[in-house]
């Protein structure tokens, strides 16, 4: 039977759309948005100046290969620019990798509470997302390997993971890689790598440099403060870079993002300042919220996952409503199979203290 209007490919309408964190609190004069893991320090002055300078030449197309940005990333991190691809946020690159390597009937693995873009990118190609169970809200290498089948083509691993904030040590990442068939591509999503202060953590550069089936994705949206510009990059083997470059848009990164990215990657002082702020207040929030009797999953990112009881009057949904009325916007994570939790970005000192005070009031306790 012929349809009476265009129909999307099978499976597209089964995809649960990505819903960003809310950003408004109607009727509240001052709002603190702590729902999207944005840096409270913003972009550096040098980065903003570079962005503004592009405004003088908006008629010009950007460099289609983002060559100067790739060279800057390579120079700062000691990488071959030819093995870097830039995109409109790391989401763009995750989708490009899925398009390049997945087809109808293939499988891609992600963990229970992994980034919601993974199943979206997978299903958009006609492939099937396979969910590997986590252990204590943390990726489990053995569980991932147990999910590998003849149909597996990709494994997505967010390390650190969003929204849990957990990570696995580099030795475990290497063990995961060693257990994968050579034709399976391991995608290391290291969007929060710059925040991690652990001696046993690596973002994945070494593994990519010595492997044919590993790529690492990074973003400028978090510690660099460029979320509005949508800018990310990936580092991979030459053959993967070649495949992705063949299907990406010819101008998939805009000129303002390129200019800002070059300035941001070279402004190490601003990165260190942002990291120091995060390290201080991440520890403070974990301790102070824990003192209120709420469980906080240990995080190495720029956010905390707060677990609430299911007791009426104390639930995550009720806490969210209570906080929102006070202009404190956290992220509900029911879509991540965490209906009894809220994710809170590390904010300014004022925002962090207000949330703890409000949670104490919500729970009927003293801050």
Mean pLDDT value across residues 30-59: 97
Locate all alpha helices (DSSP H) within 7-110, ordered by sequence.
Answer: 45-53, 67-77, 89-101
* Model confidence at 285: pLDDT above 80: yes
Residue-wise DSSP of 242-264? HHHHHHS-TT-S-HHHHHHHHHH
CATH 3.40.640.10 domain position(s) in the chain: 45-266
Mean pLDDT value across residues 297-325: 97
Question: What is the second-level CATH architecture of the domain 45-266?
Answer: 3-Layer(aba) Sandwich (3.40)
* Model confidence at 352: pLDDT above 90: yes
pLDDT at residue number 18: 80
Mean pLDDT value across residues 19-38: 86
From the list 320, 323, 286, the residue with the least C-alpha distance to 301 is 286
The alpha carbon of 175 is separated from its chain's Cα centroid by a whole number of angstroms, namely 23
Name the residue with higher pLDDT: 26 or 192: 192
Q: What's the CATH fold of domain 14-42+269-363?
A: 3.90.1150
pLDDT at residue number 111: 98
Using a cut of 0.75, tell me whether the model's pTM lies above it. yes
CATH 3.90.1150.10 domain position(s) in the chain: 14-42+269-363
Mean pLDDT value across residues 232-241: 98
pLDDT tens figures, 57-111: 999 999 999 999 999 999 999 999 999 999 999 999 999 999 999 999 999 999 9
pLDDT tens figures, 213-233: 999 999 999 999 999 999 999
């Amino acid at each position: 039977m012929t349809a009476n209007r265009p129909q999307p490919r099978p499976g597209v309408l089964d995809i649960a759309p990505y819903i960003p964190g809310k950003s408004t609190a109607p009727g509240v004069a001052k709002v603190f948005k702590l729902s999207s893991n944005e840096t409270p320090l913003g972009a550096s002055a040098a980065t903003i100046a570079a962005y503004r300078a592009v405004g003088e030449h908006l008629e010009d197309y950007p460099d289609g290969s983002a060559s100067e940005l790739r060279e800057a990333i390579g120079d700062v991190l000691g990488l071959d620019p030819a093995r870097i691809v830039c995109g409109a946020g790391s989401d763009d690159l995750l989708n490009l990798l899925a398009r390049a390597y997945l087809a109808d009937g293939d499988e891609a693995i992600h963990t229970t509470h992994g980034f919601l873009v993974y199943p979206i990118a997978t299903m958009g190609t006609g492939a099937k997302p396979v969910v590997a169970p986590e252990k204590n809200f943390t990726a489990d290498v053995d569980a991932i390997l147990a999910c590998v089948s003849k149909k597996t083509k990709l494994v997505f691993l967010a390390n650190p993971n969003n929204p849990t904030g957990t990570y696995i040590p580099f030795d475990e990442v290497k063990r995961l890689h060693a257990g994968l068939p050579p034709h399976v591509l391991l995608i290391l999503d290291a969007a929060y790598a710059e925040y991690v202060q652990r001696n046993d953590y690596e973002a994945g550069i070494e593994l990519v440099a010595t492997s044919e089936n590993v790529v690492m994705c990074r973003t400028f949206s978090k510690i660099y403060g460029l979320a509005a510009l949508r800018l990310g990059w990936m580092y991979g083997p030459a053959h993967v870079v070649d495949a992705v470059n063949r299907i990406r848009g010819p101008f998939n990164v805009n000129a303002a993002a390129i200019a800002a990215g070059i300035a941001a990657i070279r402004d190490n002082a601003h990165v260190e300042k942002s990291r120091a702020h995060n390290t201080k207040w991440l520890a403070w929030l974990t301790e102070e919220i824990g003192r209120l009797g709420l469980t906080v999953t240990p995080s190495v990112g720029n956010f905390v996952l707060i677990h609430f009881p299911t007791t009426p009057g104390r639930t995550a949904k009720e806490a969210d409503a209570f906080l929102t009325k006070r202009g404190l916007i956290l992220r509900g994570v029911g879509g991540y199979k965490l209906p009894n939790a809220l994710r809170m970005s590390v904010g300014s000192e004022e925002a962090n203290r207000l949330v703890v005070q409000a949670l104490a009031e919500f729970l009927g306790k003293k801050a």
